[in-house]
Structure 1
Amino acid sequence: MSASAKDRHQWREGYTTGSSAAAAAKAACLQLQQVRHLILGNEWVEDQKITQVNIPLPNLSRLSIPVSQCEGDEQRAWASVIKDGGDDPDVTNGLEIKACVNYLSEQGSILIEGGHGVGTVTKKGLAVPVGASAINPTPRRMIEQAVREVFPLEEIKVVIEVPQGEEAAERTLNPRLGIMRGISILGTTGIVRPMSEEAFKTSILPELDQAVAYGHRTLVLTPGNYGFRTAVEQMHVQPEAVIQMSNFVGYILEEAVYRGIKQILLLGHVGKLIKVAGGIFHTHNRVADARSEILLAHCALAGMEQSTLLKLADIPTLEGAVKELLQLNQEDLVHKLAALASARAEAYVQRKVKIGTVLTLLDGTFVGWDEQAQQLIQDEGWIWPVRD
């Protein structure tokens, strides 16, 4: 049974890539410690196969994680954990997370690096500096704490590898964020809670932080890939200034204002952004699907005949209805909807930011816009797409 078919209260939790890396590091250290004791003869220990480890979590609780493989000698060892995201549909689920540890000296620091399959940060604005391995601060602390439970004082080098990480990263936001040649080692709690809307919303925030780090004070907010490609490929907006907000319009607007953004262009399919014109700031159709109602209400207010309203209501998609309006020379009505979306969005954030709106079709064709959008695009030197 898939996660979506289950009662959400029965969804199985999993563990993050950070927890996986910490568990692999601890297992490798235990293997290294065991072999050192056996070979160096400091004390007798039973040669045991390491199949599970218990690691500390950031909230001071603990987590037991199965170990897939474990090998080593008196100077180095490695162990791997298969990342289990529970019922959360994550591209890292099932990946092998491997830790290689080297004993360097009797006293010193824990040195943590990323190896094959762990990305390298190439753009500023993330939690990790440019040039460093994409192992976030919390997972680094988790790895260090796990290692210190085995080697309290010793200098140990830990290299985290993900053999299939480079391929998996292509299905994540990493290339766009400038994290190249691998996945990120992530996690703030160590636990994956399935299908968490809060976690999904939070995952968008690094893009906002990166935009700010690059000095952008004007952003394009778009629901998804179509808008992103339109902005970058046709309008020549810098990729770091384009944020894919998914359905969380209100949340991302508030977070953008909090970060000091001064101007925003809402750019997206008319079927999504018309909801903002109706005062809807979570646009998933299970939360609010009033697209046709909003359009028909404004058509009626514009004085359209009942026969036209009935014809529009009978069209199964909003894109089709808007195309019909354009055939009826009702471009001004679509422009008015864009202006209304901007006004509602500005009111939502108490007019702390200037907002313009462009409504598009699925192919990126601009069909509705307001004066603020035109001025913003002109001021930023972006390109107005021209369609044949």
Structure 2
Amino acid sequence: MNQENKQLRYGWTTGACATAAAKAAYLAIHNGFFLDCVEITLPSGKKVLFSVLKKELISTDCAIASVIKDAGDDPDVTHGAEIVVQVKRIAHGAGVVFKAGKGVGTVTKSGLPLAVGEPAINPVPRQMMINALSEVVDDPDVEVTVGVTNGEAIALKTMNPRLGILGGLSILGTTGIVVPFSCAAWIASIHRGIDVARAANIDHLIASTGNVSEKAAQKIYDAPETALIEMGDFAGGVLKYIKTHPVKKLTLAGGVAKMTKLAQGHLDLHSKRSSVDLELLAEWVAQLGASTAMVEQVKTANTTAEVFAFCQGVVPLGDFVAQKALEIVKQVLDPVSIEIAIFLFDRQSKCHGKIVG
């Protein structure tokens, strides 16, 4: 629900759109003409209807169809993208063969659900397409080439390059449905990043809340890009996955406000879902020996950054917050034992606190 309590509109994954386009193209080959709309079945069994944009009957054995992705009210970078699928009959017994068209990436690193060299069309969308094509003809023998118009450029706004998916976007989705602001895609990308790093035998990961903290931490450790995890606000998403997929060392790096939230027990660091408790922060400053005047100043501060600014050089607030954050992290990971480092940076990349434990 949004702030006005209105129901947010759900959307469709790239996998669902590719399935609809593939079925439309195969139906055109089978019937000799295109339908304006095509119905597919989602993994849940729900049936949904998609409008077909591009309709090209290349020959009696080949056709191209496209569907425009509608992500609903989710701020998805692929919203409005054209998913283009070519379906071509191939030799009997070959089954369904998937290829990456223009704008769809290719897997180049281990650790993903697909083998190196495979087109970045995830397992569930593949099965959705196989099921949809089988509704047209039993045991189809076809080559399915999935592309995304302008997909190479759109992919640069995603985590694909870091995951080793090169040349375009991934065709994704486990339900076929995009839930607005569910954050599921981001958390899934975090998990895949950890998987890729572990497959590359990287034993030290750096999870950061943003670009500034990431670059600062990377510089300290001279870490390879594969070791970098863009966690954003999802500290819990990182820690809970690391607990079941451990590495030798994990560094968490972030801005002073977000890391203070973590130190105060929040695992979701988004401003709409957690905030810094200034009263508690004032108690910490008092424990560090600050004057009564400074403690009162903390209670009435406008921002956490302001607190760190006037505490700088007076009390070691940064290291204290890092210690508190370390305690929270260890509680979440317990009983798994991993070497943890915590860094707090400001917007100018200056380190305000750190601890390794």
User: Structure 1: where are the runs of 5+ without partners?
Assistant: 36-46, 373-388
Aligned counterpart for 1:341 among listed residues 325, 329, 334: 325
How many angstroms apart in 2 are the aligned matches of 1:281 and 1:105?
53
Cα displacement (A) at 1:309: 2.3
- Trace 1:156-167 onto structure 2 (pairs within 5 A): 156-167=142-153
Question: Which residue of the partner structure matches residue 99 of structure 2?
Answer: 113
| 1:78 and 2:64 matched | yes
| 1:369 and 2:354 matched | yes
Q: Assess if the C-alpha contact under 8 Å between 1:97 and 1:163 holds in 2.
A: yes
Q: Which moved more, 1:124-133 or 1:105-114?
A: 105-114
Question: Which residue of the partner structure matches residue 344 of structure 2?
Answer: 359
- Trace 1:146-157 onto structure 2 (pairs within 5 A): 146-157=132-143
Find the residue that maps to 2:250 and give its secondary structure. Answer: strand
How many angstroms apart in 2 are the aligned matches of 1:276 and 1:154?
52
Aligned counterpart for 1:13 among listed residues 3, 10, 13: 10
Deviations 1:50-102 (A, max 9, x none): 11111122223322211112121212111111111111111111111111111
Q: Which moved more, 1:156-165 or 1:349-358?
A: 349-358
How many angstroms apart in 2 are the aligned matches of 1:371 and 1:258?
21
Aligned counterpart for 1:144 among listed residues 126, 130, 139: 130
How many angstroms apart in 2 are the aligned matches of 1:342 and 1:314?
26
Q: Which one-letter code corresponds to 1:339 in the other structure?
A: Q
Q: 1:288 to 1:13 in 2, by over 3 A?
A: closer
Cα displacement (A) at 1:5: 5.1
Q: Which has the larger radius of gyration?
A: 1
Question: Which residue of the partner structure matches residue 177 of structure 1?
Answer: 163
- Trace 1:198-277 onto structure 2 (pairs within 5 A): 198-233=184-219, 235-277=221-263
Q: Which one-letter code corresponds to 1:321 in the other structure?
A: V
Find the residue that maps to 1:276 and give its secondary structure. Answer: helix
Question: Which residue of the partner structure matches residue 384 of structure 1?
Answer: none
Aligned counterpart for 1:279 among listed residues 265, 272, 277: 265
Question: Which residue of the partner structure matches residue 40 of structure 1?
Answer: none
Deviations 1:295-349 (A, max 9, x none): 3111112232222223344443322321222243x2x342122122112211232
Q: Assess if the C-alpha contact under 8 Å between 1:274 and 1:294 holds in 2.
A: no
| 1:96 and 2:82 matched | yes
Question: Which residue of the partner structure matches residue 24 of structure 2?
Answer: 27
| 1:302 and 2:288 matched | yes
Deviations 1:210-260 (A, max 9, x none): 121111233222222222222334531122222222222233212101102
Cα RMSD (Å)? 2.1
Deviations 1:1-34 (A, max 9, x none): xx845535x2111111111111111101111112
Q: Which one-letter code corresponds to 2:322 in the other structure?
A: A
Q: 1:174 to 1:315 in 2, by over 3 A?
A: same
- TM-score scaled by structure 1? 0.85
| 1:288 and 2:274 matched | yes
Q: Which one-letter code corresponds to 1:218 in the other structure?
A: H
Q: Assess if the C-alpha contact under 8 Å between 2:98 and 2:119 holds in 1.
A: no
Question: Which residue of the partner structure matches residue 379 of structure 1?
Answer: none
Deviations 1:34-60 (A, max 9, x none): 22xxxxxxxxxxx5x411111122223
Question: Which residue of the partner structure matches residue 297 of structure 2?
Answer: 311
Cα displacement (A) at 1:368: 0.9
Cα displacement (A) at 1:270: 1.4
How many angstroms apart in 2 are the aligned matches of 1:80 and 1:232?
41
Cα displacement (A) at 1:183: 0.6
Q: Assess if the C-alpha contact under 8 Å between 1:105 and 1:154 holds in 2.
A: no
Q: 1:98 to 1:304 in 2, by over 3 A?
A: same
Q: Assess if the C-alpha contact under 8 Å between 2:159 and 2:189 holds in 1.
A: no
Find the residue that maps to 2:99 and give its secondary structure. Answer: strand
Q: Which one-letter code corresponds to 2:171 in the other structure?
A: I
Q: 1:51 to 1:5 in 2, by over 3 A?
A: farther
| 1:68 and 2:53 matched | yes
How many angstroms apart in 2 are the aligned matches of 1:175 and 1:108?
31
